[in-house]
């Protein structure tokens, strides 16, 4: 059984402060692990778990802290869709669930702590005690993970024919008869000085 308060304290230490997103992320991760039957995510079960997060906000740090999943281990996939949601998959069983934070839980927090004027403080306190059903929409899903997206060594390394950078994990793009990196194919987030 995962200890919510202990995990929340660890998450706050990792993230830097306590906020409603931290509480939601810890609750989301605990629920996700329970649903897919992962009991020791940082120990014996660490290679059986992949988490997908759909937002680059506070809850993502909480999910990382609780699950031990990270982008560097290739066990955390960040798909910034701007949605407060995460999916968890047990690689051994294929069991997977997507958990979405309910928008109406923000207003429902007022029912629990109407005397707290600051809405974020009200949410922090309410999210600790609200039921999973009040906080989340929970859906059983199927996740198809391509071999090149699995944890482990890269399956392929190829040189971009335009810039010369090496591209791993089948992230290369075939365009106009050339093999390109995504930056050369679609434009980069940076420009050289």
Residue 28 placed within a domain = yes
Instruction: Please state, in angstroms and rounded to a whole number, the distance separating the CA atoms of residues 107 and 130.
Output: 12
At residue 1, the pLDDT reads: 54
Residue 193 placed within a domain = no
At residue 17, the pLDDT reads: 94
Please say whether the beta carbons of 125 and 168 come within 8 A. Answer: no
Q: Are residues 25 and 95 in the same domain?
A: yes
The whole domain housing 181 covers 153-186
Q: Are residues 18 and 56 in the same domain?
A: yes
Candidates 73, 106, 93, 103; CA nearest to 33 is 93
Q: Are residues 110 and 160 in the same domain?
A: no
At residue 115, the pLDDT reads: 92
Q: Are residues 91 and 181 in the same domain?
A: no
CATH code (residue 14):
3.30.1330.130
Q: Are residues 41 and 114 in the same domain?
A: yes
Q: Are residues 142 and 157 in the same domain?
A: no
Residue 191 placed within a domain = no
At residue 2, the pLDDT reads: 73
CATH code (residue 179):
3.30.60
Using the 8-state DSSP alphabet, how is residue 118 labeled? S
| Alpha carbon distances (Å) from 76 to 86, 90, 151 | 10, 13, 10
Threshold 0.75, pTM exceeds: yes
Instruction: Please state, in angstroms and rounded to a whole number, the distance separating the CA atoms of residues 59 and 61.
Output: 5
Question: Residue 66 has which token pair?
Answer: 């609780």
Cα angle at 62 between 152 and 12, to 5 degrees?
130
Domains identified in the chain, total number: 2
Give the SS3 label for residue 61. Answer: helix
Residue 192 placed within a domain = no
Q: What is the mean pLDDT of each run of 10 residues along the chain (193 residues)?
A: 88 94 97 97 95 96 97 95 97 97 92 92 95 97 92 92 95 96 95 90
Q: Are residues 24 and 114 in the same domain?
A: yes
Please say whether the beta carbons of 57 and 15 come within 8 A. Answer: no
Please say whether the beta carbons of 62 and 15 come within 8 A. Answer: yes
């Amino acid at each position: 059984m995962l200890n919510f308060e202990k995990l929340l304290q660890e998450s706050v230490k990792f993230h830097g402060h306590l906020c409603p997103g931290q509480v939601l992320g810890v609750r989301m991760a605990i629920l996700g692990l329970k649903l897919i039957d992962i009991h020791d995510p940082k120990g014996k079960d660490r290679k059986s778990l992949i988490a997908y997060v759909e937002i680059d906000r506070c809850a993502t740090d909480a999910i990382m802290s609780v699950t031990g999943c990270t982008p560097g281990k290739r066990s955390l996939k960040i798909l910034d869709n701007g949605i407060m949601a995460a999916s968890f998959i047990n690689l051994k069983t294929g069991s997977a669930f997507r958990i979405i934070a309910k928008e109406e839980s923000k207003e429902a927090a007022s029912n629990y702590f109407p005397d707290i004027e600051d809405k974020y403080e009200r949410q922090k306190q309410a999210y600790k005690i609200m039921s999973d059903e009040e906080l989340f929409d929970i859906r059983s899903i199927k996740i198809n993970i391509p071999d090149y997206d699995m944890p482990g060594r890269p399956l392929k390394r190829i040189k971009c024919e335009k810039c010369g950078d090496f591209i791993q994990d089948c992230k290369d793009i075939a365009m106009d008869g050339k093999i390109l990196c995504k930056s050369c194919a679609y434009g980069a987030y940076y420009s050289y000085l």
